[in-house]
Amino acid sequence: MAYMTDRKRAAGMGSAKSGTQHHWHMMISSVALAGLIPLFIFTFGSIYGAPYEDVVAYYQRPFPAIVALLTIAVGFIHFRGGVQTLIEDYVHGTAKKVAIIAMICLSYTAAAAGVLAVASLAL
């Protein structure tokens, strides 16, 4: 019968060595989103339902375009970090690696599409 201490049972399990850094990245992005989301709602809400020409003219101004771009970029970075943590916690084996790669590709593709859409309106 093996009597193992908690320390001995945990030895060899390892740590991710980036938990604190990931936590701070998520905290910073959530604080940024706490300011950006209301700004985005007010800037987007004021032009919602307007004709296409008015929307293009509105997003050619720097403030609404910058708010939209920052909200999209920070939102998808926060999404990537959160979903990656979720996958790491609940998916195991090869499916974990495939899911993380697919999620990273999806988040960066969606962010690039959003940035391209706002840039095409602004320019």
Domain spans of the chain, in order of start: 24-122
CA 33 to chain centre: 10
Identify the pLDDT of residue 20: 84
Tell me which residues of the chain have a pLDDT lower than 50. none
| pLDDT at site 55 | 93
Full-model pTM? 0.81
pLDDT at 109: 97
CATH fold of the domain at 24-122:
3 helical TM bundles of succinate and fumarate reductases (1.20.1300)
How confident is the model at residue 13, as a pLDDT?
Answer: 61
